Amino acid sequence: MTSLRNQDQAAAVYTLAEGRPVQDPTTSTVLRGPTVRGGGLALLEDTQLIETLAHFPRERIPERVVHAKAAGAWAEFECTKDITDITSANIFSEVGKKTKVLMRISTVAGEKGSPDTVRDIRGWAMKFFTDEGNYDIVGNDLPVFFIRDPIKFPSLNRSHKRHPQTNVADASMFWDFHNSNQEGVHCLMQLFGQRGVPASLRHINGYGVHTFKFGNPEDGTFKYVKIHFKPDAGVENLTDEESVRLAGEEPDFHVKDLYNAIEKGDYPTWTMYLQIMDPKEAENYRWNIFDATKIWPHKDYPLVPVGKLTLNKNPDNYFQDIEQAAFSPSTMIPGIGPSADIMLQARMFSYPDAARYRVGPNYQQIPCNKAKYVYSPYQRDGPGCINGNYGSDPDYVRSSFRKIKSGPADVAHDEWVGRVSAYSSEVTDEDFEQARDLWKIYLDTKDDENFINNLCGHLSKALPEVQKEAVKMFAKVDEEIGKRMEKRLDELSHIGPDHVKAPYGFMAAYGGGY
Ligand code: HEM
């Protein structure tokens, strides 16, 4: 990993930020009397010194409240299948069409400096710079989420972060949240399985998670879709032992791995797939398609390959291209629309809201976020306005001085909204069924032992009463899981507090949580 690519260039004349050439930017101007050796007085007229010191404490923007630690890259998307029968979205307008993409792959709970190889969901954020505006997919590397009601999102994340008193991640808090919000059991089964710690960001899946609408605004038709990206080089994971070691030896393991691969020209690629459902089938489908804790089994809706994604360029500057990037599920293009999943609906508010706070109200004007063509003169002025501000164009609606042409319609909302409003909080046996199917897969693939160990390694740090409730929750998935958990937790309790050093992973890797 090198950042010294420019060292052969000709020396640059250093200037003040206002452009005045500076004689020596490495030395302060000092007022020194003839008898004073080594000391002196700094001068208020030393603009270079003052600018240097004043800019430094203003270098940080707030880190993302979740998903703070990340790697990023530029990429290219190529359409490989004609799906103009289901969507007018222009990235799919013809086979071979290429679209520039910005990618950001993150962990969720840890801060900006936290280690990479922790057991956690990976965020999968993409921005397609299309001919009809930006299109963002803001997904994860697991196909389901912990909750289906957006009001629980801040609580979920606080329970995974630092305890308000001790300031360390806290297993009791983590498990207490999940014991009381058991719709997340399927996601927990995924997280504590093999896929909970990727070997590299080049070997993870990406999922849109929610159901979306792909359609044609011209004739009002649409299909429901789920979005999948699968790495062409396959999914690879770390064991807890490896992840704990790497978190100490090389906390930026994943960031470096991705950067180095791209720098060497070893570009990671993914195939994009869709699961496609007719709206009529959705109404009677076995699973509520607006519930982000559920998948659509592939046997019901097979994966249809539609494109190829290639990560092919490292950012020239991380802060400029990646830290200031703002992704949002609300950033959609004609032919793609939201479904009636209330989590998705709430997220469409939350991300632009976060970006206005984190980057500023004109965040869409920064090059990494800027769409190819923008004409939005009712949104102007504000800090950091750099887009020409629409000159003398009218800043009020329906002006007769400059007429506005209308664009394509949105994919319309249909009347059917599923069972989501009645369903968001109540937990029933239905919430355990897909977790049960996953357990059968773990038994078949012999991943069951690892799953029990990963789970109990973390849970054993929680208070005994919290452990008991978690065991009861997993026993509802399958009684065998409950029994095996009790046995493993008992073994761990005899090992004593030192088992933190044993290979049960992310606890050590991320101060006691994940
Ligand atoms: C980041 C809110 C659920 C994926 C964020 C951020 C917020 C947020 C406020 C920080 C954004 C920023 O500062 O730029 C929410 C809310 C959710 C929710 C309110 C539920 C109601 C989800 C789900 C997924 C997801 C279900 C995946 C399907 C991500 C990703 C990022 C992120 C990938 C990082 C984006 C980036 O790289 O900049 N979320 N989130 N979130 N969230 Fe969510």
Binding region for heme? 351
Q: Is 144 in the pocket of ligand 1 (CB under 6 A)?
A: no
Q: Is 91 in the pocket of ligand 1 (CB under 6 A)?
A: no
Whole-prediction pTM: 0.94
DSSP letter string over 136-174?
Answer: EEEEESSSS-S-S-GGGHHHHHHHHSB-TTT-SB-HHHH
CA–centroid distance, residue 471 to ligand 1 (Å): 29
Q: What is the pLDDT along the chain (514 residues), one digit of tens a residue?
A: 666 565 667 899 999 999 999 999 999 999 887 766 778 899 999 999 999 999 999 999 999 999 999 999 999 999 999 999 999 999 999 999 999 999 999 999 999 999 999 999 999 999 999 999 999 999 999 999 999 999 999 999 999 999 999 999 999 999 999 999 999 999 999 999 999 999 999 999 999 999 999 999 888 899 999 999 999 999 999 998 899 999 999 999 999 999 999 999 999 999 999 999 999 999 899 999 999 999 999 999 999 999 999 999 999 999 999 999 999 999 999 999 999 999 999 999 999 999 999 999 999 999 999 999 999 999 999 999 999 999 999 999 999 999 898 888 776 656 666 665 566 778 999 999 999 999 999 999 999 999 999 999 999 999 999 999 999 999 999 999 999 999 999 999 987 654 444 333 343 333 333 3
Q: Is 436 in the pocket of ligand 1 (CB under 6 A)?
A: no
Closest CA to 505 of 255, 252, 249, 247: 247
Rg (CA), the chain: 26
Name which residue sits closest to atom 20 of ligand 1, judged by CA.
150
Residue ranges covered by each domain of the chain: 70-159+197-388
Given a contact cutoff of 8 angstroms between Cβ atoms, the answer to whether 345 and 149 are in contact is no
CA–centroid distance, residue 107 to ligand 1 (Å): 11
pLDDT digits (tens, 9 = 90+) for 225-263: 999 999 999 999 999 889 999 999 999 999 999 999 999
Q: Is 371 in the pocket of ligand 1 (CB under 6 A)?
A: no
| Atom in ligand 1 nearest the alpha carbon of residue 325 | 38
pLDDT of the residue at 503: 35
pLDDT of the residue at 5: 60
Question: For the domain 70-159+197-388, what is the CATH code?
Answer: 2.40.180.10
Closest CA to 430 of 186, 145, 151: 186
Q: Ligand 1 pocket: which of 255, 347, 356, 425 to mutate (most atoms <8 Å of CB)?
A: 347
CA–centroid distance, residue 66 to ligand 1 (Å): 7
Tell me the residue type at 337: G
Q: Is 206 in the pocket of ligand 1 (CB under 6 A)?
A: no
Q: Is 68 in the pocket of ligand 1 (CB under 6 A)?
A: no
CA–centroid distance, residue 338 to ligand 1 (Å): 16
pLDDT of the residue at 509: 39
> Among all residues, which ones are annotated catalytic?
67, 140
pLDDT of the residue at 514: 31
At residue 486, the 3 state secondary structure works out as helix
| Atom in ligand 1 nearest the alpha carbon of residue 124 | 33
Closest CA to 270 of 233, 236, 298: 233
CA distance 135 to 327: 9
Q: Is 293 in the pocket of ligand 1 (CB under 6 A)?
A: no
Closest CA to 318 of 54, 129, 104, 116: 104
- Tell me the ipTM for this assembly: 0.98
Q: Is 272 in the pocket of ligand 1 (CB under 6 A)?
A: no
CA–centroid distance, residue 357 to ligand 1 (Å): 14
| Atom in ligand 1 nearest the alpha carbon of residue 353 | 9
CA–centroid distance, residue 220 to ligand 1 (Å): 30
Q: Ligand 1 pocket: which of 64, 102, 104 to mutate (most atoms <8 Å of CB)?
A: 64
Given a contact cutoff of 8 angstroms between Cβ atoms, the answer to whether 506 and 240 are in contact is yes
pLDDT of the residue at 38: 73
